[in-house]
Structure 1
Amino acid sequence: MKTMQFIAVCALLAGASATFAHGNISHTSAPIIKEQKAWGIAGDAKNAQRTITLNMTDDMRFAPSHFSVKKGETLNLRVVNKGQVMHEMVLGTQASLDEHAQMMLKYPGMEHAEPYMAHVAPGQSENLVWSFNRAGNFDFACLIAGHYQAGMTGRFTVTE
């Protein structure tokens, strides 16, 4: 009986480590679930009107740290990791990013697979296609433990 319990616990832990394992590779492509967020909704690459390149560096900064879009515009955000460590870009509100950052401190290997997140290995890039269908000021950040706390944040403005 104890052997069965041990096997069950090992299976659960193996599943948990797969769920929370950032590792050192970028995310794989998965079906995109389009869910309306306060800051927009996942877009289709064929509808992208332009591309903005966002560079991430090991000095815990984004360049540019601010970008503007018009409401209704779909962008291809090309997220480039110019550093030597893993970085990510997560779109959101200040509140959603604060909440997620706290989770990342508790579970530093937590995996991200949402369409408003790009997890990028050193020297690599990923494309994030987003439709900015809500006006306002919103934020983005690297939520890897310690990066957000070091100020790796940015802001985007969606105008009418």
Structure 2
Amino acid sequence: MAGPGKHGHSHHSHDEDQQAYGQPGDPKKPAREIAILMKEGDGSMSFEPNRIEIRKGEQIRFKLKNKGELDHEIVIATREENLEHAKEMAKNPDMEHDDPNAQRLKPSEEGEILWHFTKVGEFDMSCLIPGHLEAGMTGTIIVK
């Protein structure tokens, strides 16, 4: 077991499928599609939309498109986890995610995340590439 405050981001994690913010989706089940654009301009970076409302129990297929000229990523987690993770990324900017709740896209690339929101709460989606969160590339997912 990892000690307190240590998030073992290694691949032998104890498959805690149930995160605070839900679990990977089931491709065999229906999902509501939500398109999210990643973009930058005027010194800022953003997701569009940056506020999403979801019903508890809903499965969402996030259709992602990077419309910017830089690499961007989206990581769905709690705000605390993303801020913690952003610190790790600052030390290791080339860290690649292969987690089901994250996706990194090159310019004009498209991707998707299938996620099942099983708990009510306010969750975070952020780009954790150093400097991007600070430039405004963050948003809120509200599960009711």
* Per-residue CA distance 1:57-99 (angstroms, 9 max, x = gap): 0231000001111111101001110011100000011110100
Name the counterpart of 1:111: 96
Confirm or deny: 8 A CA contact 1:87 1:121 kept in the other structure.
yes
1:55 to 2:37 alignment: yes
* Per-residue CA distance 1:88-123 (angstroms, 9 max, x = gap): 000011110100000111000001000000111110
Cα distance in 2 for residues equivalent to 1:109 and 1:156: 26
How many residue pairs match? The answer is 127
Cα distance in 2 for residues equivalent to 1:56 and 1:82: 6
Q: Identify unmatched segments of 5+ residues in structure 2.
A: 1-14
Cα distance in 2 for residues equivalent to 1:49 and 1:115: 15
Among 71, 86, 108, the alignment partner of 2:56 is 71
Richer in helix (by share): 1
Deviation of residue 134 (structure 1)? 0.5
1:129 to 2:111 alignment: no
- Aligned AA (2:17): E
SS in 2 for 1:45: coil
Identity of paired residues, percent?
39
Name the counterpart of 1:38: 20
Confirm or deny: 8 A CA contact 1:34 1:42 kept in the other structure.
no
Cα distance in 2 for residues equivalent to 1:110 and 1:90: 13
Name the counterpart of 2:86: 101
Name the counterpart of 2:68: 83
Cα separation, partners in 2 of 1:99 and 1:132, compared to 1, 3 Å: same
Q: TM-score, normalised by structure 2?
A: 0.84
Name the counterpart of 2:10: none
Cα distance in 2 for residues equivalent to 1:34 and 1:81: 30
Deviation of residue 43 (structure 1)? 0.4
SS in 1 for 2:143: strand
- Aligned AA (1:145): P
After TM superposition, the structure 1 = structure 2 runs for residues 20-39 of structure 1, keeping only pairs within 5 Å, are 35-39=17-21
Cα distance in 1 for residues equivalent to 2:128 and 2:110: 17
SS in 1 for 2:21: coil
Cα separation, partners in 2 of 1:85 and 1:67, compared to 1, 3 Å: same
